[in-house]
Amino acid sequence: MPECLFCKIIAGEIPSYKVYEDADTLAFLDINPNNYGHTLVIPKDHFENIYTTPDETLCKTMIVVRKLATAIRNGMEADGINVTINNEPAAGQVVDHLHIHIIPRHEGDWETKSQHLKYKDDQAIETIEKIKAALQ
């Protein structure tokens, strides 16, 4: 889908901090993370949301989500993990390409669950290195 932001990220037309990639799936840091390490996991094929994504694609994506959830928990020294999918604007979906949010949580930070942070300097690179190290 030429005008889809996440298809452009898959094609390399828009840069991203990649956490994981295989033939079917890509994971990269959210540009405005709720917490550092907030990652988006997407199928490389374009499907709009959970209603329209084929079972096989969804299953492959979710297997990656689970692996990454563990790596993000360990790599970011988190105490918990949110795994969420927003479907349709009323539920907060802004980008119309299925994506699963993985958000690390730390004890006591629940009040800040709506915050949007920014990465400074090399912080994004350091973050993906921590997660990748925990994936091995």
- The 10 Å CB-count burial string (b at 16+, else e) for 57-81 is bbebbbebbeebbebbbebbebeeb
Least distance (Å) between residue 14 CB and Zn ion: 11
Which residue in 7, 31, 62, 117 binds ligand 5GP (CB under 6 A)? 31
For the question of residue 116 being annotated catalytic, the response is: no
Minimum distance of ligand 5GP from residue 112's CB (angstroms): 15
Q: Which residues of 94-131 are buried (b: 16+ CB within 10 A; e: fewer)?
A: eebbbbbbbbbbeeeeeeeeeeeeebeeeebeebbebb
The verdict on 135 binding Zn ion (CB under 5 A) reads: no
Selected binder of Zn ion within 18, 46, 60, 132 (CB under 5 A)? 46
Binding site for ligand 5GP (CB under 6 A): 5, 14, 16, 28-32, 86, 92-95
**Site residues (vs Zn ion, CB under 5 A):** 1, 4, 6-7, 46, 97
